Structure 1
Amino acid sequence: MTWKLKLMCALLAPVAMHAWAEDATPAAADASAPAAVVNPHVVDKLTQMGNYLRSLPRFEVDAAITHDTVLETGQKLQMQATTKLQVDGRTKMYAAVESDTQSRRFFYNGSKLTQYSPNLKYYTTVNAPGKISDAIHDLEDHYGIQIPLEDLFLFGTDKSQASALTSALYVGPSQINGKMCDHLAFRQEGMDWQLWVTRSEKPLPCKLVITTLTDDAHPEYSAVYTWNVKPVIKSSSFTFVPGKGDVSIPLTKASE
């Protein structure tokens, strides 16, 4: 599991629901607020979001992503990517990523998972029966391949690192893509991260920013999400069909 996924999974232990947003004092507006406080209402907001994401029978989400690459000289370069994720039930998934350095497609139909490079016209298919969460976890563990936006499947499923959280603050309301969101800020050893969540009974993540503190350049990862929770998706979207010139190649395990 990647550091980003461990970060997300660790913080969603269930707590009671609260109408916290209206009566919480924004951290940015209160200079006397303690520097390291774990606000249970903030953790609760994450829990609600994770529960809602797992309750969706199907969804489609696009993300505009930027991430910093640090050169040996210490200079930061900002890279860009766009991703799409379509999910139907617990066993069907399509994902795509277009970045400055690569183009990838992923197809999962409940029994087989295919990674395809449209530019190179290479594809590789492995047997992966079971749920989406199990398939993407195995793909990363055995082959070192990460599915775009895979953290969305793992919110709230691992409480083993909850003690790593040293700060959880409510920053205040914020508009993201025209939606009213609650801005949350967190800290744990080696990283700061921020999450904007829609202020709704059906909360969705609007934006995520992760700052790595272990690098002197403090590189950042940022994703802005656009959701469709009632998409029309063709069942054929989840099974890869090779086209003319596409070549099958074996997928080698990362340990080999």
Structure 2
Amino acid sequence: MKRNWQLPCLAVMAAACAATPAWAQKDATPATPATPASNATSDTPAVEPSAIHAIELMAQKLRTLKSFTVTADVTNEDVLDSGQKVTYGGIVTYKVRSPDRFFASVDSDRKQRSFYYDGSKFTVYAPRMHYYAQRPLANTTVAQLVSTAQEKYDIDMPLADLFYWGTDKAPTSTIQSATVIGPARVGKIECDHLLMRQSGVDWQVWISRQTMLPAKLVIANLDDPTQPEYSATLQWDTESSLADSIFTFSPTSADHLIKISDDAQTKEASP
């Protein structure tokens, strides 16, 4: 979507619990299951504490991941001047090794881009056109890199919220309503389904009960009367090792170096 949504964190704790959501458990006190939205009454608070607790736990887990690959099958609705919606598809892949190794690729209906950070140099590559740009960027964490790309070079990384959740960039205090919809599945993954509202945004997240990682995310833009949506279904790998070569860009003879400006005029939009 053309707006860079910064949502509160979905933290992920590795815990499997078939009957009761892992985030609803207590060490000494039996858990009281959250009331699904369909059974909610007028006395149900706009912000359900159990929903906020689930988000905070997922955020904590995301912050503990030291190395991971996540692949997202994404769809993005664009609204034409006629009011008609057009849906674009794509695949987003992240490979991250904390604190300072980063690779991302976007392969969508409209563009291909790859982003590399090897701890000292940031590279943006357009494989279809064989152009790449590089800037030195030392002593930068992955989260700082994502922020710098947006703030300095006007590059919005897709699903950037994965790196903001659980930080002061995405406080839960901005949530206006939070509801536990109930159990659900994403493919064969048993999940808990949450619905949130923030200023100008409705968003849903499906949290895996086995890993407590987000399995699906849907964001609706309420500022547009047609409410276009961005959706992403995510697959995680937190076990495989990631070699240094993954994060280093090696140009071929067909690739051409161009300049990247500190005051970028062309915005790299997320798919």
Q: What's the TM-score once normalised by structure 2's chain length? A: 0.85
Instruction: Give distance in 2, aligned partners of 1:185 and 1:92.
Output: 33
Q: Determine the structure 2 residue equivalent to 1:178.
A: 188
Q: 2:164·2:170 contact (CA, 8 Å) conserved in 1? A: no
Q: Percent of counterpart pairs with the same letter?
A: 36
Over the residues paired in the alignment, what is the CA RMSD in angstroms? 2.2
Instruction: Give distance in 2, aligned partners of 1:79 and 1:110.
Output: 33
Question: Is 2:7 the partner of 1:7?
Answer: yes
1:203 Cα deviation after fit: 1.2
Q: Determine the structure 2 residue equivalent to 1:116.
A: 125
Map 1:78-93 to 2 at 5 A.
78-93=87-102
Find 2:36's aligned residue among 26, 29, 35.
26
Find 2:64's aligned residue among 47, 55, 73.
55
Aligned to 2:156, what secondary structure does the other structure show?
Answer: coil
Instruction: Give distance in 2, aligned partners of 1:240 and 1:205.
Output: 29
Instruction: Give distance in 2, aligned partners of 1:35 and 1:217.
Output: 29
Q: 2:51·2:180 contact (CA, 8 Å) conserved in 1? A: yes
Deviations 1:221-252 (A, max 9, x none): 00000011112322111010111210000011
Q: Determine the structure 1 residue equivalent to 2:14.
A: none
Map 1:35-114 to 2 at 5 A.
37-114=46-123
Q: What's the TM-score once normalised by structure 1's chain length? A: 0.89
Deviations 1:124-144 (A, max 9, x none): 011222101111211110111
1:31 Cα deviation after fit: 5.3
Find 1:168's aligned residue among 165, 178, 190.
178
Q: Determine the structure 2 residue equivalent to 1:137.
A: 147
Q: 2:69·2:236 contact (CA, 8 Å) conserved in 1? A: yes
Q: Determine the structure 1 residue equivalent to 2:164.
A: 154
Q: 1:108·1:114 contact (CA, 8 Å) conserved in 2? A: yes
Question: Is 2:194 the partner of 1:188?
Answer: no
Q: CA 1:67–1:36 in 2, change beyond 3 Å: closer, same or farther?
A: farther
1:91 Cα deviation after fit: 0.6
Aligned to 1:119, what secondary structure does the other structure show?
Answer: coil
Residue 134 of structure 1 aligns with an amino acid whose one-letter code is: Q
Question: Is 2:259 the partner of 1:245?
Answer: no
Q: CA 1:100–1:72 in 2, change beyond 3 Å: closer, same or farther?
A: same
Aligned to 1:149, what secondary structure does the other structure show?
Answer: coil
1:161 Cα deviation after fit: 5.3
Deviations 1:2-37 (A, max 9, x none): 95443336x98xxxx64298611110x215345761
Aligned to 1:77, what secondary structure does the other structure show?
Answer: strand
Deviations 1:133-177 (A, max 9, x none): 111211110111122332211111016754432100000011112
1:81 Cα deviation after fit: 1.0
Q: Determine the structure 2 residue equivalent to 1:208.
A: 217
Q: 2:73·2:91 contact (CA, 8 Å) conserved in 1? A: yes
Show structure 1 runs of 5+ residues with no match. none
Aligned to 1:8, what secondary structure does the other structure show?
Answer: coil
Q: 1:165·1:188 contact (CA, 8 Å) conserved in 2? A: yes
